[in-house]
Amino acid sequence: MTSNSSPQNPSATTWMGKLDALLAEKNFITDGLDKIEQKTNVKKRYVALAFSTVIAIYLIVGYGASLLCNVIGFVYPAYISVKAIESADKNDDTEWLMYWVVFATFSVCEFFSDIFLSWFPFYFLAKCVFLLWCMAPIANNGSKILYTKLIRPFILRNETKIDDVLDVVHLKGKQFAEDAAKDVKDAAASVAAAVVTESLKKDE
């Protein structure tokens, strides 16, 4: 006897399985989803999907989408990075260092292109998806791919030149700080001398 039920899509099943595995991890986000699931009797996978849909729509049409996108790309990684530093396992430290290197590189590139790209309606949604891809808890997430394929080779090829530039910047910065400290000290001595002179005039 043949069954009338349609077979499940294997890719969809795998995708939902990965989502369930991700939501099974213990952190403050999954803890919140667990509480919502208990109160509403709605599986947290669907709560997470609904919440993600609302955020995606807001990133397209909402006011302050830039701030929300930066919060998503910074707050959670910062929290997890602190936990990684405090843990005994050092592999997660390396993974999150890769993320911050990619995040910093992206921020520098964005500084020069943001004025043009921010006019595109899907820019902040695309940026958010990119940052989530970079921090995704998978073996080869965006951070590892971009660091390994682009950033690391570039740094290793130009390491000597970069070190030379940083040395010059360090020396100039040190000299500027010393000159500024000397100017402040001279100015303070001049003010003190003027106060003493004024006080002596009043006593005469």
CB atoms under 10 Å from CB of 180, counted, come to 10
Contact (Cβ atoms closer than 8 angstroms) between residue 74 and residue 68 = no
Token readout for 198 is 């004024």
Domain ranges across the chain = 17-159, 160-204
190-201: pLDDT as tens digits: 777 776 676 666
Token readout for 106 is 């992206």
Put simply, whether the predicted model's pTM sits higher than 0.85 gets the answer no
Which residues, other chains included, contact 65 with Cβ-Cβ below 8 Å and sequence gap of 6+? 58, 59, 124, 125
41 pLDDT band, cuts 50/70/90, is confident
Among the listed residues 72, 50, 148, 147, the one whose alpha carbon sits nearest the alpha carbon of residue 106: 147
Tell whether the model's pLDDT for residue 88 goes beyond 70.
yes
Contact (Cβ atoms closer than 8 angstroms) between residue 45 and residue 12 = no
90-141: pLDDT as tens digits: 777 888 999 999 999 988 888 777 666 667 778 888 888 899 899 887 778 8
pLDDT recorded at residue 114: 66
Q: What's the distance, CA 69 to chain centroid? A: 10
Tell whether the model's pLDDT for residue 2 goes beyond 50.
no
What is the C-alpha separation between 108 and 116, in angstroms, rounded?
15
3-state helix/strand/coil string of the chain: CCCCCCCCCHHHHHHHHHHHHHHCCCCHHHHHHHHHHHHHCCCHHHHHHHHHHHHHHHHHHCCCHHHHHHHHHHHHHHHHHHHHHHCCCCHHHHHHHHHHHHHHHHHHHHHHHHHHHCCCCCHHHHHHHHHHHHHCCCCCCHHHHHHHHHHHHHHHHCHHHHHHHHHHHHHHHHHHHHHHHHHHHHHHHHHHHHHHHHHHHHHC
Q: Which residue has the tokens 């993320």?
A: 99
pLDDT recorded at residue 28: 61
139-157: pLDDT as tens digits: 788 999 999 999 999 999 9
